[in-house]
Amino acid sequence: MEKHILPDIRHLQKLDVYEAHGGYKAFRKALQMKPEDVTEEVKKSGLKGRGGACFPTGLKWTFMPKSRGAGSQTTGQSEKPKYLCVNGDESEPGTFKDRQIFEFNPHLMIEGTLIAAYAMGVIISYIYVRGEYGKWIKMIDKALHDAYAKGYIGQNILASGFSTEVIVHRGVGAYICGEESALMNSIEGHRGYPRVKPPFPAQNGLWGCPTTINNVETISNVPLIINNGWEWYSKIGAAKHPGPILVGVSGHVNKPGVYELPTGVPLLEIIHKHAGGVPGNKGIKAVIPGGSSTMVLRGDRLEGVCMDAESLKAAGSSVGTAGLIVMDEDTDLIKVITRIAKFYYHESCGQCTPCREGTGWLWKVLKRFELGEGRQEDIDILMEVANNIEGNTICALGEAAAWPVQSMIRRFREEFEKRVKAPQHKPVEAVVV
Amino acid sequence: MLSEQNLKRIDELKRFYQTSRALVIPALWMVQEEQGYICQDAMKYVAKLLDVPYGHILGVVTFYTMLHQRPVGKHHVEVCTNVSCMLRGSDRIVAHLEKRLGIKMGETSKDGKWTLSEVECMGSCGTAPMFAVGEEYYENLTPEKIDKLLADLERK
């Protein structure tokens, strides 16, 4: 497939190279369209969020108030300003795709941001990037600086009457800030605590103003749709979840990395054809298809499973961030799940009791299995704790912590049973009659 | 406490944010850049600078893992041990670093040169295993590569 998000063009991160390859054409085109037509185009394309929730992007945009508020110079200034947050917190273990966009095609993300800002009448867009990506933040800053200088961002952009601003906001090392409402709290200068929904961000987001949050990769798909039309886009990949998708392959493969593929590519094709297969031609014991929070799948049940929302749902998992983690036949899955549980324990923000306490319990009980000290009843305890977290928390971190454990027990129960400590029978003394 | 240049940056940032509270994290980043960590006096300073209660600043500093309340070594080696790195041998990397630096995870060497920390996924899963020193990522690590990197850093 031709690559659109990460094409093989040298120095594409530079503005003049990006422009020479059709860059900012989509934004110019959008500025000639009615804002609602831009949204409609994105809606019809079928683009779904690439950050994990798979929510239809165009539909999300329609939740924003229609009035052209404070940002637009075409109407009065009485309404609340509208904001866009571009989510580049990228902290889900197994996910390293947005980083590629920051490094190799930052202007695509900026162009998508500007089109979205125009469609929704946004006055300021915040590109929220995880704090560890300091090096990449500098790259985005450079790209933004150049786009400002060229007049793509700022006041009365390209004499269209539309004005908008874009700024990078640096995160501070918290997985939870990838959750959209925690992200907004973090921008506001608070701890990264998720908010109770409703109210939803489109009504009550940053500082109580209408706000939309889109993933970096999602927003980077927008220029493609505007340039080529929704029909073209909707024909790429899986019908119900179309478009190019950045699949990050890690773990036991010969060529780990980010691969831009159409949605709907079989997982086995990704592993064997694109990622070069498993080292030593070993068998696959398990895969995690979309970042550590998605349900683990058995390696012997991958036939016909594809990288799209529908197929992965049918297989009992989800597409998540398309961060595919491959584990060969020799992998200690108990060690894997213990490490994943430790991560969610560390990253729980602590607001909700089931998650704050439950994630720690999961980790501690799993650690017993890792050390070969598990008890038979611990398997049920793990399941019960996970079930009590799931659905009982403000945000989806609860599910993110519960799903890996639940799926690991359901699909690899034998691994747990193998680690149950043999009961220590005391020798029975012979009774002499 | 903050440099003139950073105070100017704070001023420039104001137009992007509705409240001064939103400048707390940018300001704390600047403090850390200038001083290496965030002491209590710095928190009080930021509280006053932005007219935000000190308790709020303390709450923020203690919440986010990248804000340090204690000085860290000159070279802060942060090793990812999360699942993708683990599958590609981060255990070996940790063991090698501990041996080479003579400190355990979470410790700082006596001469203040090295701090070794375990960190969560850094987004280097495709180039695992890895560690970061400051903003620089060192990827596809092997013990041999580490020896060379440590020698280079030692000279800096």
Query: In this structure, what CATH number is given to the domain that contains residue B55?
Result: 1.10.10
Q: Do A130 and B84 touch (CB under 8 A)?
A: no
Option in B83, B119, B122 nearest A336 (CB): B83
Q: Evaluate whether residue A3 is within a structural domain.
A: no
In order of A236, A334, A407, the CA distances from A302 in angstroms are 23, 21, 15
pLDDT of residue A348: 98
Regarding whether A218 and A323 lie in a shared domain, the answer is no
**Taking all residues of chain A, what is their mean pLDDT, rounded to a whole number?**
95
For residue A191, is pLDDT > 50? Answer: yes
Backbone angles phi, psi at A202, to 5 degrees: -65, -25
List pLDDT tens digits, range A76-95.
445 899 999 999 999 999 99
Regarding whether B88 and B31 lie in a shared domain, the answer is no
Which pLDDT band holds residue A430 (cuts at 50, 70, 90)?
low
Regarding whether A294 and A182 lie in a shared domain, the answer is no
For residue B113, is pLDDT > 50? Answer: yes
For the domain that residue B93 is a member of, what is the CATH number?
3.40.30.10
Q: Evaluate whether residue B68 is within a structural domain.
A: no
Regarding whether B51 and B81 lie in a shared domain, the answer is no
Regarding whether A291 and A308 lie in a shared domain, the answer is yes
Residue A261 tokens, joined: 């593929």
Regarding whether A372 and A229 lie in a shared domain, the answer is no
pLDDT of residue A313: 98
Higher pLDDT among residues B39 and A69, named by residue: B39
pLDDT of residue A433: 58
Domain boundary among B63, B90, B107: B63
Please tell me which residue of chain A has the smallest CA distance to B55.
A190
Regarding whether B96 and B51 lie in a shared domain, the answer is no
Regarding whether A159 and A91 lie in a shared domain, the answer is yes
Amino acid at position A277, single letter: G
Regarding whether B128 and B88 lie in a shared domain, the answer is yes
Q: Evaluate whether residue B131 is within a structural domain.
A: yes
Q: Which of A159, A178, A224 is nearest to A85 (CA)?
A: A178
Q: Give the residue carrying structure tokens 């070794």.
A: B116
Regarding whether B50 and B95 lie in a shared domain, the answer is no
Regarding whether B82 and B55 lie in a shared domain, the answer is no
Q: Evaluate whether residue B94 is within a structural domain.
A: yes
List pLDDT tens digits, range A224-245.
999 999 999 999 999 999 999 9
Q: Evaluate whether residue B23 is within a structural domain.
A: yes
Regarding whether A272 and A207 lie in a shared domain, the answer is no
Regarding whether A370 and A389 lie in a shared domain, the answer is yes
Q: Evaluate whether residue A340 is within a structural domain.
A: yes
Q: Do A99 and B87 touch (CB under 8 A)?
A: no
pTM of the model: 0.96
For residue A71, is pLDDT > 60? Answer: no
Domain boundary among A234, A257, A279: A234
Regarding whether A65 and A52 lie in a shared domain, the answer is yes
- Per-residue pLDDT, averaged over B88-97, amounts to 98
Option in A92, A174, A258 nearest B126 (CB): A258
A419 neighbors A372 (Cβ within 8 angstroms): yes
What is the span of the domain harbouring residue A166? 15-234
Total domains, chain B? 2
Domain boundary among A234, A263, A290: A234
Regarding whether B83 and B47 lie in a shared domain, the answer is no
Q: Evaluate whether residue A5 is within a structural domain.
A: no
Domain boundary among B63, B87, B103: B63
Regarding whether A414 and A267 lie in a shared domain, the answer is no
Q: Evaluate whether residue B69 is within a structural domain.
A: no
Regarding whether B146 and B102 lie in a shared domain, the answer is yes
Option in A99, A167, A256 nearest B16 (CB): A167
For the domain that residue A290 is a member of, what is the CATH number?
3.10.20.600
List pLDDT tens digits, range A340-382.
999 999 999 999 999 999 999 999 999 999 999 999 999 999 9
List pLDDT tens digits, range A146-169.
999 999 999 999 999 999 999 999
Regarding whether A310 and A362 lie in a shared domain, the answer is no
pLDDT of residue A75: 46
List pLDDT tens digits, range A198-232.
999 999 999 999 999 999 999 999 999 999 999 99
Option in B19, B59, B82 nearest A191 (CB): B59
Q: Evaluate whether residue B95 is within a structural domain.
A: yes
A123 neighbors A70 (Cβ within 8 angstroms): yes
Regarding whether B135 and B85 lie in a shared domain, the answer is yes
Cα–Cα distance, B28 to A139 (Å, whole number): 22
Q: Evaluate whether residue B121 is within a structural domain.
A: yes
Q: Evaluate whether residue A76 is within a structural domain.
A: yes
Domain boundary among A289, A310, A328: A328
pLDDT of residue B18: 97
Residue B69 tokens, joined: 């309340």
pLDDT of residue A422: 77
Alpha helices in A63-105 (DSSP H): 98-104
Measure A16 CA to nearest chain B CA, in Å: 27
pLDDT of residue A68: 72
Total domains, chain A? 3
Regarding whether B144 and B79 lie in a shared domain, the answer is yes
Regarding whether B126 and B93 lie in a shared domain, the answer is yes
Write out the E strands in A102-243.
124-129, 165-170, 211-215
Instruction: Mutate one of A128, A190, A258 to test the B interface: name it (highest B CB count within 10 A).
Output: A190
Q: Evaluate whether residue A181 is within a structural domain.
A: yes
Cα–Cα distance, A223 to A116 (Å, whole number): 9
ipTM over 0.90: yes
Q: Evaluate whether residue A402 is within a structural domain.
A: yes
For the domain that residue A355 is a member of, what is the CATH number?
1.20.1440.230
Q: Evaluate whether residue B139 is within a structural domain.
A: yes
Measure B85 CA to nearest chain A CA, in Å: 7
Instruction: Mutate one of B14, B63, B125 to test the A interface: name it (highest A CB count within 10 A).
Output: B125
**Taking all residues of chain B, what is their mean pLDDT, rounded to a whole number?**
97
Q: Which long-range contacts (CB under 8 A, 24 or more apart) does A272-279 make?
A: A274/A247, A274/A249, A275/A249, A275/A326, A277/A253, A278/A252, A278/A253, A278/A254, A278/A326, A278/A328, A279/A252, A279/A253, A279/A254, A279/A328
Q: Do A335 and B86 touch (CB under 8 A)?
A: yes
Domain boundary among B63, B89, B111: B63
What is the span of the domain harbouring residue B92? 75-155
Cα–Cα distance, A64 to A333 (Å, whole number): 44
Regarding whether A337 and A324 lie in a shared domain, the answer is no
Regarding whether B89 and B140 lie in a shared domain, the answer is yes
List pLDDT tens digits, range B35-65.
999 999 999 999 999 999 999 999 999 999 9
Give contacts of B52 with chain A, Cβ < 8 Å: 189
Regarding whether A147 and A30 lie in a shared domain, the answer is yes
